[in-house]
Structure 1
Amino acid sequence: MKLDLVVVGGGIVGIATALSYQDRYPDAKILILEKEAGLARHQTGNNSGVIHAGVYYAPGSLKAKLCRKGAVMVKAFCRQADIPFEECGKLIVATDPLEVARLQGLRERAAANGIPFSEVSGPELRDREPLINGLEALFFPESAIVDFGLVTRRMAERITERGGAIRLNARVTAIRESLDGVSLIAGGEKIETRRLVVCGGAQADRLARLAGLKTDFRIIPFRGEYYQVDPRLRSQIKHLIYPVPDPDLPFLGIHLTHEVNNRLSVGPNAVLGLSREGLPRFSVNLRDLFAILSHSGFWRFLKGNLRSGLAELRNSLFTSSYLEACRKYMPGLKRSDLKSRKAGVRAQVIMNDGTIMHDFLVLETPRMVHICNAPSPAATSSLAIAEYILDTYVKER
């Protein structure tokens, strides 16, 4: 039997894509293939759980558009599926005069992207957040927190309730496209489908090459290491506390994040990982390590970001250094307030010329769509990404 759609990847983007396709074509034969024993085992289940408002993204960019739309859609889904989320709001805090000046750029981006915000003076910031240090801030009330792993599983339940299938422990080992469809080998079984969408996360470049596509990039893993903050401080921090971005750095930097289940975390850093899927500290995968070291783009990227890379490594190795970075916002934080927690791994696309791909990257053929880069805010944007993929690349059944 030939299926109508096969989706490879059981993270939130893959599940959202299958759900959106099923909404459009209720009688379609759909199969989701996931190589792990459960859904949302990687980036989806190990992120900060923030539903982003979209302030950091360039006006007019795909990121900005899909984030705004996706935030509305994921909140609506949560209400329908009875999934709790908390609109705690986000404070972007300037801690020195240079950051105060940089806030102007965020004001302009917020206005251009249609994002509601308000000005917060230094005295008002101290009233709102007595433990937080800052000269002034911008407040974004629509930012929220949710368990994206739970969101993914509820989406998957809808798919299976309506006749879709999900196959776990089904690693894809072959992909071949023909004029009227795509043949796959997954878990040792041959599968035929009219259309294939690949949301491969950390393995997206390898799956694209497995399908015969040419790639001018490679996925490089970066570990995002967090600390859990003493639970007694959770009630004393009312909002998400985020930094003013430094345009000279490739990643956003450390922030304080409310999480579901009444938790508070601080992080992440962004240190080079030696395994695409290795969550424990010091995880090494020799295949992944060779892929990093043999990629000319990685060495070009490293040359331009060596200083910040060494700073991230220092923060990873020495808690005292990490604590110093945290105290920029929360001066009273003590070493005893921090407890280790599991890390996440960002699947970062680095092009052959050494530049980071910050926006979404999609490769297509007549019968296949490969989502090769779905960076933050992919979880927030997941349902909007799914609609975009179907509208742009899968225009008919």
Structure 2
Amino acid sequence: MRHVAVVGGGILGLAVARELTARGSRVTVLEKEDRWAAHQTGHNSNVVHAGLYYQPGSFKARMSVAGNRSIVDYARSHDVPVEVCGKLVVATSEAEVPGLHALAQRAEANGVPAKLVQPAEAHSYEPEVACVAALRVESTAIIDFAAICRAMARELESSSATLRLGTPALAIRRGGAGGVEIATGTDVVRADALVNCAGLHSDRVARLAGVVPRARIVPFRGEYFTLRPEAAHLVRGLIYPVPDPTLPFLGVHLTRMLDGSVHAGPNAVLALRREGYRWRDVSWRDLAESARFPGLWRLARRYPRTAVEEVVRSLSRRRFAASLARLVPAVGSEDLVRSDAGVRAQALLPDGTLVHDFLIETAPNQVHVLNAPSPAATCALEIAKHVADQVG
């Protein structure tokens, strides 16, 4: 029986381990933290995406529609909370209507169930929304991704898999017969193959294994607010802006969670540490590594105004609220309570280009998942199949 070591205990690492186990491999999962889903998976918006935004034919486009169905089915079969609530993407001015129509065309190309609606119908879904037109996307859902991970861990525990929390991969070298040896600080794990799902540290794990990745991980913190309970009635479901095609991220939006609370955000600012969830979380090593990377400076030169606006919005509750008020005018700064932030592991090329699609690189007996930001959690079961195919 082939033995595969998976580095990373987020939703991708656990999904890959589950898929490999189902295919007959013996699997060991190494997670440096003391719990599953400690970083990206446990700090995201818990939205199951429909596949609306992605370039037709891309990994994201192909996997999102299938992933939307498979992750919802998995949740329902394992008693994990999930609600298929749909969402509205709203054009707040006539200037945004062409972008909304382009989004509708992309939805059709990707096989996403969506329809253009007029303001009266939009208000039947979201009475407080401001729009001149909207796109209704029915298959978007809200889920508990951390609970999905716990369910996967229980499955793996009942199978032949070995799950090791508090076990970092500190060094990796080729072993006998073409396998790998992973030093953890307490022992050496020997395996026939390695799968790297280390998220924020995926490029570093690749380099430990002797692979020079094409892209570098740059951490972007996404900051959220929660609407105070007295204002939560202003949002019934999910409300998103029309994305600006010239900018790298979607923009702030409003999301009603499974517990009835409403999250607002995220913005996107450079994190000062790979696991930098607050401004005071600083790693001089991480900062120096980012500062030496020419791709970051080229990205900043490409979007200087956006970078400044995101920082200002991070520091100003009033500016954050103003962005939300474009979607729901009744939201004011007094309605916002700061919530937990997340950090996105964004792959960046040396020329300053953001890697928009999933990026997976291989070496003999190694598979490295080097870019898997949103909607990777939605697509986790589909990405796992692809990775398992690469492992062979």
TM above 0.5: yes
Picking from 263, 266, 269, the partner of 2:264 is 266
Letter matched to residue 157 of structure 2: T
Does residue 29 of structure 1 match 2:26?
Answer: yes
How big is the shift at 1:29? 2.2
**Is residue 205 from structure 1 mapped to residue 242 from structure 2 by the alignment?**
no
Task: Give 1:177 shift.
Answer: 2.0
Equivalent residue, structure 2, for 1:331: 329
Distance (whole Å) between structure 2 residues aligned to residue 236 and residue 278 of structure 1 = 31
Counting only pairs closer than 5 Å after superposition, residues 22-61 of structure 1 correspond to structure 2 as: 22-25=21-24, 28-61=25-58
CA distance in 2, matches of 1:17, 1:291: 29
Which residue pairs with 1:147 in the alignment?
A: 144
Report the more deviating stretch, 170-179 or 332-341: 170-179
**1:121-159 Cα shifts (integer Å, max 9, x gaps):** 012222331211111101011100011011011111100
Gaps of 5+ in 1: none
Using the alignment, how far apart are the partners of 2:122 and 2:261 within structure 1?
22
Counterpart contact for 2:322–2:332, Cα < 8 Å: no
Identity %: 42
Aligned counterpart, 2:15 = 16
Distance in 2, Cα, partners of 1:363 & 1:127 = 46
Structure 1 distance, partners of 2:376, 2:86, is 19
Shift of 1:325: 0.8
2:100 to 93, 100, 103: 103
* Conservation of the 8 A alpha-carbon contact between 2:104 and 2:115: no
Asked if structure 2 preserves the Cα contact closer than 8 Å seen for 1:327 and 1:333, the reply is yes
Task: Show the counterpart of 1:6.
Answer: 5
**Residue type matched to 2:102 in 1?**
G
Equivalent residue number for residue 217 of structure 1: 215
Q: State the SS of the aligned residue for 2:116.
A: strand
Show the counterpart of 1:65.
62
Cα-to-partner distance string for 1:203-262 (whole Å, 9 max, x where unaligned): 011111111111232111111000001223334422210111101111110000121222
**In structure 1, distance between residues paired with 2:225 and 2:182:** 41
CA distance in 2 between counterparts of 1:230 and 1:326 reads 14
* Paired letter, 1:130: P
Task: Find out whether 1:119 has 2:141 as its counterpart.
Answer: no
Instruction: Kindly state the Cα deviation for residue 194 of structure 1 after the two structures are TM-superposed.
Output: 0.8
Residue type of the alignment partner of 2:114: F
Equivalent AA in structure 2 for residue 152 of structure 1: C
1:298-351 superposed Cα distances (whole Å, 9 cap, x missing partner): 111111011100000000011111111111101111222110111000111110
Paired amino acid for 1:173: L
> 1:72-108, CA deviations, whole angstroms, 9 ceiling, x for partnerless residues?
1111111110112111101000001121111111111
Match of 2:153 in 1: 156
List gaps (5 residues or longer) in structure 2.
none
SS at match of 1:172: coil
SS of 1:380's partner is coil
CA-to-aligned-CA distance 1:12-51 (integer Å, 9 cap, x gap) = 00000000111121xx321100000111010000000000
Q: Is 2:249 aligned against 1:251?
A: yes
Supply the AA of the counterpart residue of 2:105: E
Q: Is the deviation greater in 45-54 or in 119-128?
A: 119-128
Partner of 2:346: 348
* Counterpart residue type for residue 18 of structure 1: A
Q: Distance in 2 between matches of 1:177 and 1:133?
A: 58
Q: Deviations over 1:164-212 (max 9, x none)?
A: 1111111111111244311110133111101110101010111111111
Deviations 1:337-377 (A, max 9, x none): 11011100011111011100011111111211110111110
Supply the distance in 1 between the matched residues of 2:214 and 2:244 (Cα, whole angstroms). 27
Looking at structure 1, the residues matched to 327 and 363 of structure 2 have their Cα atoms a distance apart, in angstroms, of 47
Letter in 1 for 2:7: V
Give the whole-Å Cα distance in 1 for the aligned partners of 2:358 and 2:332: 38
Q: How does 1:226-241 map to 2 (within 5 A)?
A: 226-241=224-239
1:3 CA drift (Å): 6.3
Assess, with a 3 A threshold, how the Cα gap between structure 1 residues 215 and 180 changes in structure 2: closer, same or farther.
Answer: closer
SS at match of 1:387: helix
Which deviates more, 378-387 or 167-176? 167-176
Letter of the structure 1 residue corresponding to residue 256 of structure 2: H
Q: How many residues align?
A: 391
| Correspondence for 1:128 among 125, 135, 147 | 125
The whole-number CA distance in structure 1 between the counterparts of 2:72 and 2:307 is 36
Map 1:72-87 onto structure 2 (within 5 A): 72-87=69-84
Stretch deviating more after TM superposition (123-132 or 252-261): 123-132
Indicate which of 278, 303, 306 corresponds to 1:305. Answer: 303
Residue of structure 2 aligned with 1:316, choices 314, 317, 320: 314
More displaced stretch, 45-54 vs 159-168: 159-168
1:175 aligned to 2:172? yes
